[in-house]
Amino acid sequence: MRKRKSLAEYEKGILEGDRVILSQAITLVESNLESDQLLASHLVQQVMSQTGNSIRIGITGVPGVGKSTFIEAFGEMLLAEGKKVAVLAIDPTSQKTKGSILGDKTRMEKLSGDSRAFIRPSPSGVTLGGVSSKTREAMLLCEAAGFDVILIETVGVGQSETAVKGMVDFFLLLMLAGAGDELQGIKKGIMEMADALFINKAEEENMTAAKRAKQHYQNALHLFPLGENGWSPQVLLGSAMQKKGMKACWDLIEDYCQLQKRNGHFDKNRAGQRVKWLEESVLDLLGRAFFSQKEIRSEFEIGKEKVKSGIAHPLVLANDLLEKFLKK
């Protein structure tokens, strides 16, 4: 096994914008080894003062909508604007093999070849919400390394693919036109959370359908109450393949962030996200502590079989195990 760098080496490399060390640091925070987790937590704490200066954008959409193509086109436009761009692309993990393809980097060849861009594919693991369990830490490390815009590409859209909203400044939902009933094809909940919808693949031959879809979505969004941040979600048209609509999308995001900073919601949103992270961290650590006790783990495995056969009630068994855990 390759020897880990020291805390000082990781910190120095990240603050100098070394992409190799940044990648190694993200591997460190994703590790399940207890010693790595301790080092990773200290590293994130060390660089925390250098974070918070980027714009964090979550990007999601149904499979086939062209997320990777959009991100590459959008990222290239941002580079042309003088921005440094980091992409955290989450690949779905198989619940059978626990493996993932991690193919996003190969789908963004131009972007990944630019020294001002950093692309990091990570497995989603068992985490719900379309993100990796360590996406927040990876995002902060990228900020400390000097990246101006952080793009988080989620696994896809589903009932639980919403955790990314709780860690970004702007949530962009990519949509397709002409793919069935647009308003029924996606959950209402995720539309309510979106700060903007971008109808992709609006090429000339598909423009009529795209414009019709845009009108449908705008009508639907007008039915939602205005959020406390005072922002009314917008619907944009464009084509990532033809690199159309990228600048308009960025201009909209900048307008949004300026409004949020003026009305105080930008900082309020980030503060709330940090508290949410604390709550999730406590639950995660409690779960790890619970299952780290061999006796509890053994009784849990026995209990699973009783639950399967209908002998034990899940909630009763959970309470019994929790009482034993707290007495330890």
The backbone torsions φ and ψ at residue 304, rounded to the nearest 5 degrees and listed phi first, read: -60, -40
pLDDT interval class at 121 (50, 70, 90): confident
> What are the residue ranges of CATH 1.20.5.170 in the chain?
1-50
> 265-290, pLDDT tens digit by residue?
999 999 999 999 899 889 888 988 99
pLDDT of residue 238: 96
| Mean predicted lDDT score pLDDT of the chain | 85
Residues 6+ apart with CB under 8 A from 308: none
**What residue spans in the chain does CATH classification 3.40.50.300 cover?**
52-262
pLDDT in tens, 155-214: 665 544 567 888 899 999 998 886 544 444 455 667 788 999 999 999 988 899 899 989
Q: Beta 196-200 vs 170-176: how paired, if at all? A: parallel
Q: For residue range 295-321, list pLDDT tens digits in order.
A: 999 999 999 999 999 999 999 999 999
pTM above 0.85, yes or no: yes
CA distance 128 to 67: 19
The mean-pLDDT minimum among 73-77, 99-103, 177-181, 304-308 falls in 99-103
CA distances from 246 to 177, 195, 196, 252 (A): 18, 16, 13, 10
The CATH number that domain 1-50 falls under is: 1.20.5.170
Q: In CATH, what class is 52-262?
A: alpha beta
How high is the pLDDT of residue 179? 54
